[in-house]
Amino acid sequence: MDIVTTFLNGIILEEVYMKQPEGLDDGSGRKKYCEGLAEKYGLQDGGKPATPLPSGFTVEPCADEEVVGESDRKLFHSMVGLLNYAANHTRPDIAFATSRLASVVSRPSHEQLEAAKRLVPYVSATASVGLEYSGVRQRLQRGAADVKSGEMLLSCYTDASFNSVKADGTSIGGYVCLLGGGAVSWRSKKQNEVGLSSCETEYMALHHGVKEVVWLRRLLEELGVGQEEPTVVFCDNESAVKLAKNACLHGLTKHIRPKWHWVRRLLDKEVRLEIVKTHEQAADIFTKRLAEADHWKGMKLAGMSVH
């Protein structure tokens, strides 16, 4: 039975059985899955990289003569697929790297293949790193009340890396939503529209982060953990926050499509916008490659720790 495209053919009447990736079908969980990746691809001697991507590495479309052969393309496709599984479920620290590599999965270069081979040992070497929902006391910025132990207070950080995709001038946007001290939802993705300034790209990232917050608030309400106060959404771009709070039409922003202004309707009702300092920006690791110290600090801000 064609499971991949069966949704195109109407209602499924047959019973469908799915097999989980290796490492998750015997109760050993996340750690064994991550540890087994290097062994699966024969990369046990790949060292222990401190960051997902090497310094100065960027992902751009490559020339025909740089594209790998078919066997290496299938290898690249397989590695990125398994890495993406981890990135979407328990390893937000590799979300940016896997998202960028996935963007060239049909035509990877030799350099991009080597980057994937480096990322696999990184994940295996850091298999003991995972999300932690400690429930310890936290403080939201600018006078918000403390979060008492056991309370479930939702917050969100949004960010964008302006003009970071040189091939088409688009930017990478990202967000991370935190609950109980750890990330529960995150995203790292190339934006579909070209922003003409860092304010625009941050504004679009803010839009997507707020959409996720609204959905999470609905879900938490159904689970009996409703949010009594507006959810605080942090952004490190002051201009983007001012644009959301000020409905006046300006010459530099009048071209922005109306859909991005949807955030304004939710202010002080479901969300509250706050400016966060760049070094406290938990979404930074979802929009750019960071140096080792900044990368590990970003992981900690997203609620990741060594178990």
Q: What's the pTM?
A: 0.84
- Taking each helix axis as running N to C, give the angle between helix 70-89 and helix 30-40, from 0 to 180 degrees, rounded to the nearest 10: 170
- DSSP conformation letters of 37-85: HHHHTT-TTS---SSSS-TT-------GGGB--HHHHHHHHHHHHHHHH
Residue 282 to residues 174, 233, 237, Cα–Cα distance (Å): 10, 11, 14
Kindly indicate the confidence band of residue 1, based on its pLDDT and cuts at 50, 70 and 90: very low
* CA atoms of 232 and 200, how far apart (whole Å): 20
- The mean pLDDT of the chain is 86
User: Which of residues 156 and 23 earns the better pLDDT score?
Assistant: 156
- Give the per-residue pLDDT at 262: 87
| Look-up of token digits 């990202």 | 174
pLDDT above 70 covers a percentage of the chain that reads 85
CB atoms within 10 A of CB 147: 18
How deeply is 129 buried, as exposed, middle or buried, from its count of CB atoms within 10 A (0-12, 13-18, 19+)?
A: buried
- What pLDDT, in 10s, does the model give residues 120-175? 999 999 999 999 887 643 444 434 444 444 467 899 999 999 998 888 899 999 99
Cβ-contact 44, 284 below 8 angstroms = no
Q: What are phi and psi of 31, to 5 degrees?
A: -65, -45
DSSP 8-state secondary structure symbol assigned to residue 288? S
| Residue 264 predicted with pLDDT over 80 | yes
Cβ-contact 95, 188 below 8 angstroms = yes
Kindly indicate the confidence band of residue 181, based on its pLDDT and cuts at 50, 70 and 90: confident
| Residue 30 predicted with pLDDT over 90 | no
pLDDT above 90 covers a percentage of the chain that reads 62
Residue 15 to residues 1, 2, 3, 11, 20, Cα–Cα distance (Å): 11, 13, 11, 12, 16
Give me the count of residues in the chain: 307
Average pLDDT over residues 257-280: 90
Cβ-contact 84, 102 below 8 angstroms = yes
- Give the per-residue pLDDT at 144: 43
**Out of 4-18, 30-44, 191-205, least confident range:** 4-18
Kindly indicate the confidence band of residue 27, based on its pLDDT and cuts at 50, 70 and 90: very low
**Out of 55-59, 205-209, 257-261, least confident range:** 257-261
